[in-house]
Amino acid sequence: MRRILSILAVSSVLLLAGCATKTRSDALTTTLTAYGSTLRWGDFQSAAQFIEPAARAAHPMSKLDIARYQQVRVSEYDAGAGPVPTGDFDVQQTAQISIVNLHTQSERTIVDHQTWHYDEKTKHWWLTSGLPDITQD
């Protein structure tokens, strides 16, 4: 009887861990899809809402940052192979973003190295690496 209870307890823990992992994975997929869509529309101010709240409060977007983001249009967003786990609650993703300067109509592609962290308390994935650097050559 003790052995059966032991097996049931271990099975329950593994089942709950599996559910937690699936929930976390589903949340990641939803978050990355929403973030990618937001960037595809060129809505950088809304994309800033994906940044971890403490980091967003510590480093708010300046007027210069906002002006720079308003100067470009996103023509393509490609997340490539998708996220790569770097720990239980962290993933990295590299995206190539093609942007067009509205004044010169020149297009260039930047590489955005994203780091995402899962907050267990809020059950939410947060971008910890910040918005793409559109000033890179």
pLDDT at 13: 31
In a domain, 81, yes or no: yes
pLDDT at 130: 95
Q: Quick: pLDDT tens for 97-114.
A: 999 999 999 999 999 999
The rounded Cα 82 to chain-centroid distance in angstroms is: 10
| Nearest alpha-carbon partner for 83 in 57, 55, 113, 103 | 113
In a domain, 136, yes or no: no
In a domain, 133, yes or no: no
1/109 Cα distance (integer angstroms) = 64
135 φ/ψ angles, rounded to the nearest 5 degrees:
-90, -5
| Nearest alpha-carbon partner for 106 in 133, 132, 75 | 75
Give the chain's domain count: 1
In a domain, 41, yes or no: yes
pLDDT at 18: 45
pLDDT at 21: 82
- Whether the pLDDT of residue 89 is over 60: the answer is yes
The overall pTM is greater than 0.95: no
In a domain, 76, yes or no: yes
In a domain, 82, yes or no: yes
pLDDT at 62: 94
55/128 Cα distance (integer angstroms) = 7
Q: Quick: pLDDT tens for 4-58.
A: 433 333 333 333 334 458 889 999 999 999 999 999 999 999 999 999 999 999 9
- Whether the pLDDT of residue 1 is over 80: the answer is no
In a domain, 135, yes or no: no
In a domain, 29, yes or no: yes
Q: What CATH number is given to the structural domain containing 39?
A: 3.10.450.100
Q: Quick: pLDDT tens for 112-134.
A: 999 999 999 999 999 999 999 99
The single-letter DSSP state of residue 106 is -
pLDDT at 22: 86
